[in-house]
Each structure stands twice: as structure tokens, then as C-alpha cells.
């Protein structure tokens, strides 16, 4: 299983669970795709985009279930990031847990 991670507010996670699918956070909607990070990238993503925020959730996504809506594209520092062009069904989430504030 190929995995990637999405950092969300608790409210965004609750909405994802309620709707059964996720179309993106405001930054994703502006970009036209859902930003995900690999296990190696997620700490840097949290530091860069979520520093000082609390009540965050880390959702683990099974990329294999998403098929060809996942595109690996160059971004920060030339790294390849998984971007999702579509919605992510709740069934693709294999784990979700609160991110400790420290």
C-alpha cells in the first residue's frame, strides 16, 4: 500500500467524516488539487503551514485506492509530492489521529 498524509483541522476532519468524502481545504480548493505529503515530508509540511495551530488531525490515505487521480508533482525544494485531482473518499483513510501540539 502506498500511503500519504493530509493535515487537517479537527473541523475539516469532522466534515470529511460527515460527508464521506473530502474535496479539499481552502488552500487545496485555491490550487485545484488536494495537497498530500509523504511520511518523510509531513513534519516539514506541518512546520511550514501549520505552525502555531492546534486541534489538528493527521489522516493517512491509501493512494492505491485513488488510482489515476494522484499525480506526483515537483514542489518545495524540488521534492515530488502527491497531489489529488478529485475527492478522497473516507474509505481511503486508513488511520486518523490528533497531532500533538508540541
Q: What pTM does this model have?
A: 0.93
Q: Where are the domains of the chain?
A: 3-98
Q: Is 3-98 in CATH node 3.20.170.20?
A: yes
Give per-residue pLDDT as tens, 5-23: 999 999 999 999 999 999 9
Backbone phi, psi, residue 98, to 5°: -65, 145
| pLDDT over 90 percentage in the chain | 91
Which phi-psi region, left, alpha or beta, contains residue 24 (left: φ > 0; alpha: ψ -120 to 50)?
Answer: left
Give per-residue pLDDT as tens, 25-77: 999 999 999 999 999 999 999 999 999 999 999 999 999 999 999 999 998 78
CA 90 vs CA 46, 77, 99: distances in Å: 22, 30, 19
- The confidence band for 82, taking pLDDT boundaries of 50, 70 and 90, is very high
pLDDT for residue 102 is more than 70: no
Give per-residue pLDDT as tens, 58-71: 999 999 999 999 99
Amino acid at each position: 500500500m502506498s500511503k500519504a498524509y493530509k493535515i487537517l483541522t479537527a473541523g475539516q476532519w469532522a466534515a470529511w467524516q460527515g460527508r464521506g468524502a473530502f474535496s479539499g481545504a481552502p488552500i487545496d480548493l485555491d490550487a485545484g488539487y488536494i495537497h498530500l505529503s509523504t511520511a518523510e515530508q509531513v513534519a516539514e509540511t506541518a512546520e511550514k503551514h501549520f505552525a502555531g495551530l492546534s486541534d489538528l488531525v493527521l489522516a493517512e490515505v491509501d493512494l492505491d485506492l485513488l488510482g489515476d487521480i494522484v499525480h506526483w508533482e515537483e514542489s518545495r525544494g524540488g521534492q515530488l509530492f502527491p497531489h489529488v485531482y478529485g475527492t478522497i473518499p473516507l474509505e481511503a483513510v486508513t488511520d486518523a489521529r490528533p497531532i500533538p501540539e508540541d
